[in-house]
Structure 1
């Protein structure tokens, strides 16, 4: 079977890129698919995560004003679809343009849309902006042309009013028999530096904790292009906090840590939670829309905190800092519970979906 993924890019360090590298590689290596990936403006660039050598990667050049950009996008996709002749096309693009593809591209292929973000992505303190609400309503209409829209959690399903929805969670990207000792006095957070990720909340939480636990450090891995977060940390006079660029071998950083924290205001899935759990780390997350509660078993393999409640978040974090036995107990449960997201199991669900079409 020929499978074509259409996405914005594979050179970034985000969850979408990591998941695509895992799925595409396993589908071609274990399930015999002929997998093609089309991205935008990445000719000559290397993917951030590794893909199977059998995965065929192409890129379309798009630029200019919105009309010119969209015209080049449509033409480029059409040319490659006619050349590849895929059986299934899977669109991995949370922008609105991907929803137009089944309406403007001529093909006999079946269309799938992969939603990697919550509708609430882009929310501010004042809520979801009007243009985002309008955009989602348009997606609801355009989405009728897809054979299936694949969501990551049951919580995400509540944001849609279509009949072609199916839930397939993200897979754990690591296969490992190495686990953290949970003895190192290091806390880890991973993800892009944006309002949605809630790092401003994490700094306030750390401010209330750092002085009482001077032997512990907080490490944040992500790209802070505006340097706002570092400035905020300096303004709060925080000492034991370190900011790092994204790394390809994030697994080594999980192994070196003892607790994983996710302060997001909303999440499409919370990929970093299952990554950390696969290395035996207990996790703490706000119970934000729409995924942590589908991953964390509260008080078992981690803590789910009332969304935005930084005082409760800090108290639960302190309990893990104080008790190695609690970290070990929760870490052991994390290793067991995360197995339901194993790559082999999840990619098999995708194989069954593709064949059903």
Structure 2
């Protein structure tokens, strides 16, 4: 089967690029499909290891999309023409679009004989959040147009069941993410360290984690919170930490390549995001045996499992978040219980299981099922 993926770019590290590369590698190496990834930004390189069996190409015209208005319009028309040319040259059996600019809005109208799948890596609320600076009318019109376009794809793939009712499209399919992180050992849950892996960005709401920790750190001054990530808000967050007198117990680290070793040196994973597409870091934490403390938001319900596999409270309630964090700190038994329950759920999110779902979907689309 010939599979063509469209994505904005692969030359930078990010969740979308990583998951698309992992999927493409698996489809090419395990299922032996003929896979091509086409990038819209015209940078033919990948920040993640790409299998020698996966081809990489560019649309062309992408360097004009960030220029002035006239050049941007020219770039859009150039890409539309080139998308059609690529489909005719490659003749894929199926096309998958990972929220690629220009491609998203035009692909359903080009070569309608080729099945097409739209996959999104944000929740509905996440996409709405990214439009916070727009008017209510703009948001309404944007989602009306988006839904009218998405329903023209053969399938519209979202990440979680809880996101279904926001979209309410008949061609929806839910396929979760997976993690490539593997380990031959689990955290022994004995270290006095809480870990968070997140971008230093307002959407991750690390200010709420700082606020929650400020409420209980005096009673647990032998524990530390350590965050690993990159992003524009690090200095702002550090200023808040210093202001609250948490400098020695709340540490902001740069992102690390070997994040597994940091998980293994921790006993609790904390997440305070305002929204998530799927919350892949939760799956990573569960894989190494860390109990989770988080807000109950769209994109993480699968990890909560009615309180059997994580502790959660309403978003923004730092009082209850702090109480849940303290429960985990004070109870090794609770940490072990949540960890053991979570480990039973992990097979649902293995790469073999998830990629079998994708392969089955491709076959159904090709057979018009």
What TM-score does the superposition give when structure 1 sets the normalisation length? 0.91
Deviation at 1:158, TM superposition (A): 0.8
Aligned to 2:14: 14
What is the rounded CA distance, in whole Å, between the counterparts of 2:63 and 2:95 in structure 1?
A: 20
Q: Is the 8 A contact 2:44 2:56 kept in 1?
A: no
What is the rounded CA distance, in whole Å, between the counterparts of 1:285 and 1:322 in structure 2?
A: 17
What is the rounded CA distance, in whole Å, between the counterparts of 1:100 and 1:285 in structure 2?
A: 35
Structure 2 unmatched ranges of 5 or more: none
Taking the TM superposition and a 5 Å limit, the aligned residue runs for 1:44-193 are 45-47=45-47, 49-60=48-59, 61-63=62-64, 64=67, 65=69, 66-93=72-99, 97-106=102-111, 108-121=113-126, 122-123=128-129, 130=136, 131-193=138-200
Deviation at 1:325, TM superposition (A): 2.4
Q: Is the 8 A contact 1:22 1:343 kept in 2?
A: no
Taking the TM superposition and a 5 Å limit, the aligned residue runs for 1:339-354 are 339-354=347-362
Q: Is the 8 A contact 1:4 1:37 kept in 2?
A: yes
Q: 2:282 aligns with which of 273, 276, 279?
A: 273
Structure showing the higher helix proportion among its residues: 2
Deviation at 1:94, TM superposition (A): 6.8
What is the rounded CA distance, in whole Å, between the counterparts of 1:126 and 1:70 in structure 2?
A: 25
What TM-score does the superposition give when structure 2 sets the normalisation length? 0.88
Task: Mark the CA change 1:173 to 1:30 in structure 2 (over 3 Å): closer, same or farther.
Answer: same
Deviation at 1:149, TM superposition (A): 0.1
Q: Is the 8 A contact 2:12 2:46 kept in 1?
A: no
Q: Is the 8 A contact 2:44 2:58 kept in 1?
A: no
Aligned to 2:222: 215
Q: Is the 8 A contact 2:108 2:153 kept in 1?
A: no
Q: 2:273 aligns with which of 254, 258, 264?
A: 264
Q: Give the SS at the match of 2:167.
A: coil
Q: CA RMSD of the aligned region, Å?
A: 2.3
Q: Give the SS at the match of 2:162.
A: helix
Task: Mark the CA change 1:46 to 1:10 in structure 2 (over 3 Å): closer, same or farther.
Answer: closer
Q: Give the SS at the match of 2:129.
A: coil
- Structure 1 moving runs of 4+ over 6 Å: 124-128
Q: Is the 8 A contact 1:292 1:304 kept in 2?
A: no
Structure 1 unmatched ranges of 5 or more: none
Deviation at 1:84, TM superposition (A): 2.0
Q: Deviations over 1:108-146 (max 9, x none)?
A: 321100011112225389898523343222111111220
Deviation at 1:88, TM superposition (A): 0.9
What is the rounded CA distance, in whole Å, between the counterparts of 2:224 and 2:21 in structure 1?
A: 31
Structure 1 or 2, whichever has the larger Rg, is 2
Q: Give the SS at the match of 1:5.
A: strand
Q: Deviations over 1:75-119 (max 9, x none)?
A: 343333333221111111176x34313245336321100011112
Q: Deviations over 1:226-249 (max 9, x none)?
A: 433223323333222222333333
Q: Give the SS at the match of 2:156.
A: strand
Q: 1:313 aligns with which of 313, 321, 334?
A: 321
Task: Mark the CA change 1:310 to 1:16 in structure 2 (over 3 Å): closer, same or farther.
Answer: same
Aligned to 2:264: 255
Task: Mark the CA change 1:265 to 1:128 in structure 2 (over 3 Å): closer, same or farther.
Answer: farther
What is the rounded CA distance, in whole Å, between the counterparts of 2:38 and 2:132 in structure 1?
A: 36
Q: Give the SS at the match of 1:62.
A: helix
